[in-house]
Amino acid sequence: MNSRTIPSLASVALIVTCAIICGCIAPDEQSLAVNTTVPLERGWDQAAVAILELYTLNGVSQETYDRFNGSVVSPEPAILLDSNGYPLYYRFYVQKNGEIFYAVQVSANKLLGKTVTKIGDFGYIGRNESVNRAVNGSDTNGAETGFAYGPPVPSYSDEYTQLMLDFWEVEDIYAQSVLRDAENAGIDLSTPLSDDDQKFIREILWEHIRQREQRIKEIEEKYQVDIP
């Protein structure tokens, strides 16, 4: 997955705000003017980096390392929709030796304010039949593409909207930076990593985790909030 350059979300929000003031865009059309849907490839990037954090960083248990070592994130997620039919979450499946055993759920809407929302087995470990039904969209307890998964993201004030976008962007920049450095080093995150690749990825992760934490601190100071 190649990282892509995106325009400043703050700039986009400013343009929309100006348009509303001058009457070019009605307030209730703001959601149409600012596209907050996350591209699928961005979601995969975020899911792949989340799995790397689970088993390559120092301090993980041997059990966790053994479970995820050699795993990859499938590029085809289940798309969980809101009640209006718009993407709400992407659920990417983690595979090892061709078998699904875990999943990473990421935001499909930037206004949720974060990238990764849940990581877990979703009840699938040891239940291959349940995994297959979920992937095929027939498991009522699993991930179903095309079915309403939750209510739509509510309308926020301009300031809170920008706050959510800023939060999401910090986490997205982190994932994109890790992907970029991995690609520059010739590491393909869509395939199982060698021991040497894992050591290099560990260094990349720590470097960008520090940068991410600094960006979060700046946002907290700007909006006078504490990010949990």
Average pLDDT for residues 131-135, to the nearest whole number?
38
Both structure tokens of 205: 């992760």
Is the per-residue pLDDT at 9 higher than 60? no
Phi, psi angle pair for 79, to nearest 5°: -105, 115
Instruction: Quote the CA–CA distance of 57 and 65 in Å, as a whole number.
Output: 9
**In DSSP terms, which residues pair with 95 in a beta bridge?**
72, 100
Domain ranges of the chain: 36-223
Phi, psi angle pair for 72, to nearest 5°: -140, 160
Task: Dump pLDDT digits (tens) for 97-123.
Answer: 999 999 999 999 999 999 999 999 886
pTM over 0.85: no
**Least confident range of 81-85, 87-91, 148-152:** 148-152
Tell me what pLDDT residue 116 has. Answer: 97
User: Are the C-beta atoms of 210 and 161 separated by less than 8 Å?
Assistant: no
Is the per-residue pLDDT at 134 higher than 60? no
